[in-house]
Amino acid sequence: MANKFKIRHDIYNSLVSKVKEVVAKVNTNQKYLTSFFEGDVSRRCQQALLSLIMSDFIRQYSKDGEVQVLKSDTYSLINGKFNYRFLEKIKIVMIFSMGNILVLKGLLYSIFFGKKIIHNNVILHGYGRESLYEGGNSEAAIEFLSKGPFDFINESNLYIGTNRAINNEKFRYKHSKYPLLDLLKSTRFSLYDAISLVSHTIKNYFYFLWLSFNNPIFFLLYSDFLWLPAIYALNRKSALKYYIFDNSDFSKQILPVVSLKKRNFTTHMIFYACNTKGFKYKNVDEVAEHPHYQFMKFDKAWVWNEESKRWLQENSPFVKDIAVVGDVLFYVDNNKTVNLEGSFKILVFDVTPASEEWCKSFAGGGAVGFDFYSSEHMCKFIEGVETSVSDLSSDVKVFIKPKRLPSEKWHDKKYVELLKSSQRIQILDPDINIYELLRGVDLVLAVPFTSALYIADKLEIPSIYYDPTGTLEFNKKRTKYIEFAQSQQTLKQKVEVYHSEKMSHPQ
């Protein structure tokens, strides 16, 4: 196991070197590009190329120990030169063309139906329902974002990027697949501004085609070019105040959003977890940090703790402003407690392993080939939890809060069956408020290094990270209420000690 992660560290370094080598051969300082962007095109090309080739690169490097030539059904990378297959180029051109038609239709709509310019619009990019809304309750998310350091939506119009459309006049927010397009449609443009935007869109369209067919790496930036005219026009009207990402968007921040010259809006990334730091393995000096963090760019990051801040400072050179704001769950702590049965209640947080089919479709079978959160390891984790309470009475209750309800369609079948067949573990609703839940238990067990234990620590609830492989070092900040167990025996001993203490001092 440890040796595999030593290999992963080497792969990541080789991958980043390859990406930089390829992009270094590309002229990213052309006049049209530098007239709009602040010398950031090279970084964005590296980021986009990394996303495309990562899985194939890992798979081939793991097999051959090097990568000289990389080929797939859609692209090739030979002698440091990137190229798309012809059919893939045509596919991108069609997508780009349809996108430009949507932008022009949106502009036409804005001329006749757009409202007067509103200067405090906010876009939340890519927030799905399960990430944003506790229990499907949109008011909880709105309340959270309007309090404390996230004063992003007070007196603002909020556009949320998601897969379904929801409008709510009370909270002035709108869900849409293309929030930028909806903002464009809602903004009134004069005839002169409209003509200028149409002209820019047409010029931008043909420039993208010319540039990409001359150097195919720019096909990777079709979404950057697609949204450039619209964002440029909205920026001139000061129609956008904040553009907000969450850390699930760590692999893509398009140029018009983060690098447009004379931006009148700021970009933010909210980290909804504090477990981005790579694992430290026994007998391995190197830590394999995910390479995408090297290429992230935005104006300000919002993180949980000082440890996360230091890690980001060390691994993300394009991120300069970092604020420590505590835990971020997109709903507030209501100081309530869930009543659970049992004389001693244990709460478990897992990482549900994905199905083999999903892994192949998501990452070409390459990026997750030796992931710590494999079916084998997570089954061992559950078995360890069950063993830890095997000698305790049936009145000791064990509950597990999954991030999502286990599904054989998306998750590993063996793991799902093991969890559902357990005689000791009860599966809870994944949408339940974590704060309420934690206050109702006596002990928390979790797979390394889920963020929930840092909330438990804040609430002064004893917690144990359990490493079922016995290969990890605890390279996180030590706290009063968090312990680390690397064997079933150690875990069992710790659980029994906490149980004994509770029974000796019942409240």
> Residue 357 has what pLDDT?
65
Chosen domain end from 332, 359, 377: 332
What does the buried/exposed string (b/e) look like for 60-86 if buried means 16 or more CB atoms within 10 Å of the residue's CB? bbeeeeebeebeeeebebeeeebebee
> Residue 112 has what pLDDT?
82
Question: Taking a C-beta distance cutoff of 8 angstroms, is the pair 47, 252 a contact?
Answer: yes
In this structure, is residue 489 part of a structural domain?
Answer: yes
In this structure, is residue 25 part of a structural domain?
Answer: no
Ordered DSSP codes for 301-349: EEESSHHHHHHHHHH-TT--EEEE-----SS----------SSEEEEEE
Among 143-157, 252-266, 447-461, name the one with the lowest average pLDDT. Answer: 143-157
pLDDT band (50, 70, 90) for residue 86: very high
Mean pLDDT of the chain: 87
Mean pLDDT along residues 237-245: 90
Domain interval for residue 257 = 83-332
Mean pLDDT along residues 431-460: 94
Q: Is the pLDDT of residue 413 over 60?
A: yes
Q: Is the pLDDT of residue 156 over 90?
A: no
Question: Are 306 and 411 in the same domain?
Answer: no
Question: Are 313 and 462 in the same domain?
Answer: no
Mean pLDDT along residues 304-318: 95
Question: Are 420 and 315 in the same domain?
Answer: no
Of 117 and 35, the structure prediction assigns the larger pLDDT to: 35
Question: Are 144 and 171 in the same domain?
Answer: yes
pLDDT digits (tens, 9 = 90+) for 14-26: 999 999 999 999 9
pLDDT band (50, 70, 90) for residue 349: very high
pLDDT digits (tens, 9 = 90+) for 38-47: 889 999 999 9
In this structure, is residue 61 part of a structural domain?
Answer: no
> Residue 292 has what pLDDT?
95
Mean pLDDT along residues 297-322: 95
> Residue 285 has what pLDDT?
84
**Percent of the chain whose pLDDT exceeds 70:** 87
> Residue 230 has what pLDDT?
95
Of 456 and 131, the structure prediction assigns the larger pLDDT to: 456
CA distance 253 to 250: 8
- State whether residue 134 is helix, strand or coil: helix
Question: Taking a C-beta distance cutoff of 8 angstroms, is the pair 234, 240 a contact?
Answer: yes
Question: Are 318 and 242 in the same domain?
Answer: yes
Q: Is the pLDDT of residue 91 over 60?
A: yes
Closest of 372, 191, 280, 275 to residue 6, by C-alpha: 280
Question: Are 316 and 355 in the same domain?
Answer: no
pLDDT digits (tens, 9 = 90+) for 48-64: 999 999 988 888 887 77
Q: Is the pLDDT of residue 472 over 60?
A: yes
Mean pLDDT along residues 412-432: 89
Q: Are strands 266-270 and 425-427 parallel, antiparallel or unpaired?
A: unpaired
Residue 262: how many other CB atoms lie within 10 Å: 9
**Percent of the chain whose pLDDT exceeds 90:** 55
pLDDT band (50, 70, 90) for residue 4: low
Q: Is the pLDDT of residue 339 over 80?
A: yes
Chosen domain end from 271, 300, 332: 332
> Residue 268 has what pLDDT?
93
In this structure, is residue 377 part of a structural domain?
Answer: yes
Question: Are 243 and 378 in the same domain?
Answer: no
Total of domains in the chain: 2
Tokens for 133, please give them: 């809304």
| Alpha-carbon separation of residue 190 from 108, 150, 196, 494 (angstroms) | 11, 33, 10, 69
pLDDT band (50, 70, 90) for residue 152: low
